[in-house]
Amino acid sequence: MMCCACCGIAEGDDIKLKTCTACKSARYCSVKCQKEHRPQHKRACKKRAAELRDELLFKQPESTHYGDCPICCLPLSLDKHKSLMSPCCSKRICYGCVHANQRREEEMRLKKSCPFCRHPLPKSQEQAKMIIMERVATIDPECMGSIHLNDGDHDTAFEYWTKATGLGDLASHYNLSLLYRDGHGVEKDEKMEVYHLEQAAICGHPFARFNLANVEWNNGRKERAIKHWIIAATLGDGDAVKYLRQRYPRFVCKEDFAAALRAHQAAIDATKSSQREAATEYAIRNNINGQGGSTSVP
């Protein structure tokens, strides 16, 4: 690593070696040396690059793509009905904090406001949608893509999500994988589907991880599929647990299955709190469709 892999010249004050961006295991003093060494290095480079990719792909993410509630700082549930996105600040807030804010406003006779930024809330879902459209038109292409998808415009949704992936939005990678899988707004392409699933999975998207496992399983790579399902289960995905249970004990050993179940339960427990339980009881008691009321946009 301290010498050029082609000519053998050592690195010094006047010579700076550059590392191969794919495998990170060879260095060169010039582009000319890199091109000359390519035929010898190509096979080893691809093998090492694949190993590095797998190390990154199968690393357990610290949290899901939803992250934590910005108010109570507890992990958000994977169930979309248990959190709401405020149209004014685009913060996804757990239904426990939304419910607590509603009760506070009722007791103190205050006007309805965002639990996070205290901005007055829109009076209707239509007004909330207009606010979101105005706010995210230039700063949130992922949300714009979702809005166009709901309107049945797959082509425009594809354009916005492609733009959002360039800004590092992992949810857009997952959304694009679905378009490539189903052929909506773009031709079906399993290679592109897998690419976007991997990008989302690396950053903690459990549903992308689950779909990626299904692709690996259908292609006969069962060991890789099991690894993906275990990671998804650890992030709290219930469907991944079901798939692991169906393949236990033939494809999943007892130790791995038990560890996945414990980690799954821990992930679920981490999203619970007395405040969120109170919100659930209130919603059930008042027959509310969706947790935490309707002051925000799902």
User: Tens of pLDDT along 53-93?
Assistant: 999 999 988 888 888 999 999 999 998 889 988 877 778 89
pLDDT at 98: 93
pLDDT at 283: 85
> Domain ends where: 173, 203, 233?
203
> Domain ends where: 87, 103, 135?
135
Decide if 10 is inside a domain. yes
Residues 128 and 71 reside in one and the same domain: yes
pLDDT at 130: 66
pLDDT range class, residue 137, cuts 50, 70, 90: low
> Domain ends where: 161, 185, 203?
203
Phi-psi region of 37 (alpha: psi -120 to 50; beta: other; left: phi over 0): alpha
Decide if 292 is inside a domain. no
Decide if 91 is inside a domain. yes
Average pLDDT over residues 243-248: 94
Residue 293 CA to residue 189 CA, distance in Å, equals 40
Decide if 7 is inside a domain. yes
Residues 154 and 197 reside in one and the same domain: yes
Q: How many domains in the chain? A: 4
Residues 128 and 144 reside in one and the same domain: no
Percent of the chain with pLDDT over 90: 53
Q: At what angle do helices 206-218 and 222-234 cross, to 10 degrees?
A: 160
pLDDT at 296: 38
Mean pLDDT across the chain: 86
pLDDT at 69: 94
Query: Residue 152 belongs to a domain with what CATH number?
Result: 1.25.40.10
Residues 33 and 81 reside in one and the same domain: no
Residues 92 and 128 reside in one and the same domain: yes
195 versus 84: which is more confidently predicted? Answer: 195
Residues 198 and 260 reside in one and the same domain: no
Q: Over 50: is that where the pLDDT of 136 sits?
A: yes
Kindly state the tokens that stand for 185. 């707004």
Residue 7 CA to residue 243 CA, distance in Å, equals 52
Decide if 282 is inside a domain. no
Query: Residue 117 belongs to a domain with what CATH number?
Result: 3.30.40.10
Decide if 69 is inside a domain. yes
pLDDT at 58: 92
Decide if 37 is inside a domain. yes
**pTM, full prediction:** 0.81
Instruction: Please answer whether residues 262 and 269 qualify as being in contact, where contact means their C-beta atoms are separated by less than 8 angstroms.
Output: no
Average pLDDT over residues 14-26: 88
pLDDT at 219: 94
Percent of the chain with pLDDT over 70: 87
Q: Over 60: is that where the pLDDT of 155 sits?
A: yes
Decide if 73 is inside a domain. yes
Contacts with 184 (C-beta within 8 Å, 6 or more apart), sequence order: 154, 178
Q: What would the pLDDT profile of 86-120 be if each residue is shown by its tens digit?
A: 877 778 899 999 999 999 999 999 988 889 988 88
pLDDT at 153: 83
pLDDT at 236: 94
Residues 96 and 131 reside in one and the same domain: yes
Range of the domain at 270: 208-274
pLDDT range class, residue 13, cuts 50, 70, 90: low
